[in-house]
Amino acid sequence: MTEEVAPGVHRMEIPLPRTALRTLNAYLVRGTARNLLVDTGLNMPESRDALYAGLAELGALEGGLDIFLTHMHADHSGLAAELAARPETTVYAGAEDGAAVIRLAAEGPAFWRGTLDGMARHGCPESLLHTVATTHPGMIAGPVGDIAVSFVNEGDVLRYGAAALRMLLVPGHTPGHAALLDEERGILLSGDFVLADASTTTPYRPNIPDSLGVFFRSLDSVRDRDIRLVLPGHGRPFGNARARMDALRAGRVRKLEDTLRLLGNREATAAEAAPQLHRSRSGGGWESYMPAQQWFAIQDTLAFLERLEAEGRVVRAEKDGLIRFRAV
């Protein structure tokens, strides 16, 4: 089932099995000789079947099809290598996340070893690390095989039909997250940079210290642009982008203060602090979280602690292979 969300732009809702977000929005931007697919879904049968059905409904499997990946996470890139095997298909992405997609496709789950090792130093239990590494689709359902990616730089324009899509580099959620802005119509294809009904997470990656601070700078770089419609990677399209960005920042700032207050006068790892900071929407405690939710909540807590550290309000100390934070 497809939906035209703007003239010449169609949304396809792609299932994401065993994930909290449940679905991805893949978008087809119609061109003349070629169309552009923005994001793909997981490398799983449920995602594949829905994506191919949507592309077939739109008649996009018969002509030229290019792909733009907003970022490297498997729910956005999982089918990219498979689709890239089509004749004359070009895959576009920002340089940093594009390089990560190439590595992810070549290395498979081993790509995540550095992240898992780093989170172990922040107190993640070995049982949780093992469960996430072996069962979570984000770890095991990425692209597979050789894939060529054409790197797009900040300000570059991709043209498909009437759409002139300017690439905006908006890191934070990943080190090289990108979005596409149709400046004439004020339409932002945002990936996971901004969502209508969920806070943008800033997961741990070894090469992006203070990911929350990076995300704040990305919000600042985009906030004052004329954006009238946001087409996000998950959830419903929405308007009033500036108000949503302000609300995202305010929510993260409140969580920063909550983190500092809950830390109190003790030392704690991110994994030790996370259960106090996070409660499920149903009101349940930490034990009501699925393993993948615990994993992301610990990373979210680490992002707050690193931002507080960058602001000089907490310091870290490492002992016996574990990193703990305490208020100054």
The amino acid at residue 313 is R
Residue with tokens 């940079």: 193
Packed helices 270-277 and 291-310: angle between N→C axes, nearest 10 degrees: 110
**Environment class of residue 274 by beta-carbon count within 10 Å: exposed (0-12), middle (13-18) or buried (19+)?**
buried
What letter would DSSP give residue 194?
S
Task: Count the helices and strands in the chain (H runs, E runs).
Answer: 11, 14
Residue with tokens 């108000």: 243
Report the distance separating Cα 83 and Cα 80, nearest Å: 5
Report the distance separating Cα 325 and Cα 25, nearest Å: 37
- Quick one: pLDDT at residue 247? 97
And the tokens for 307? 């931002």
For the structural domain made of 266-327, what CATH number should be given?
1.10.10
Report the distance separating Cα 212 and Cα 207, nearest Å: 13
Q: Give the residue extent of every domain in the chain.
A: 2-247, 266-327
Residues 6+ positions from 240 with CB-CB distance below 8 Å: none
**Digitized pLDDT (tens) for each residue of the chain, 328 residues in all:** 899 999 999 999 999 999 988 999 999 999 998 999 999 999 999 999 999 999 999 999 988 999 999 999 999 999 999 999 988 899 999 999 999 999 999 999 999 999 999 999 999 999 999 999 999 999 999 999 999 999 999 999 999 998 999 999 999 999 999 999 999 999 999 999 999 999 999 999 887 889 999 999 999 999 999 999 999 999 999 999 999 999 999 999 999 999 999 999 999 999 999 998 886 455 667 888 889 989 999 999 999 999 999 999 999 999 999 999 999 9
- Quick one: pLDDT at residue 105? 98
Bridge-based pairing of strands 23-29 and 9-15 is: antiparallel
- Quick one: pLDDT at residue 173? 96
**Max Cα–Cα distance, the chain, nearest Å:** 63
Order across the sheet with 9-15: list the strands: 2-6, 9-15, 23-29, 34-38, 64-68, 91-94, 150-152
Look at the chain and count its residues. 328
**Environment class of residue 320 by beta-carbon count within 10 Å: exposed (0-12), middle (13-18) or buried (19+)?**
exposed
- Quick one: pLDDT at residue 207? 77
And the tokens for 321? 């292979």
And the tokens for 30? 């119609």
CATH topology for 2-247 is Metallo-beta-lactamase; Chain A (3.60.15)
Output the average pLDDT for the chain.
95
Distance between first and last Cα of the chain: 54
Residues 6+ positions from 327 with CB-CB distance below 8 Å: 260, 263, 264, 265, 313, 314
Report the distance separating Cα 297 and Cα 283, nearest Å: 15
Q: Residues 78, 50: contact at Cβ < 8 Å?
A: no
Report the distance separating Cα 247 and Cα 220, nearest Å: 13
- Quick one: pLDDT at residue 286? 86
Report the distance separating Cα 304 and Cα 284, nearest Å: 22
Dihedral sign of CA atoms 8, 173, 218, 259 in order: positive
Q: Residues 205, 174: contact at Cβ < 8 Å?
A: yes
And the tokens for 252? 């993260």
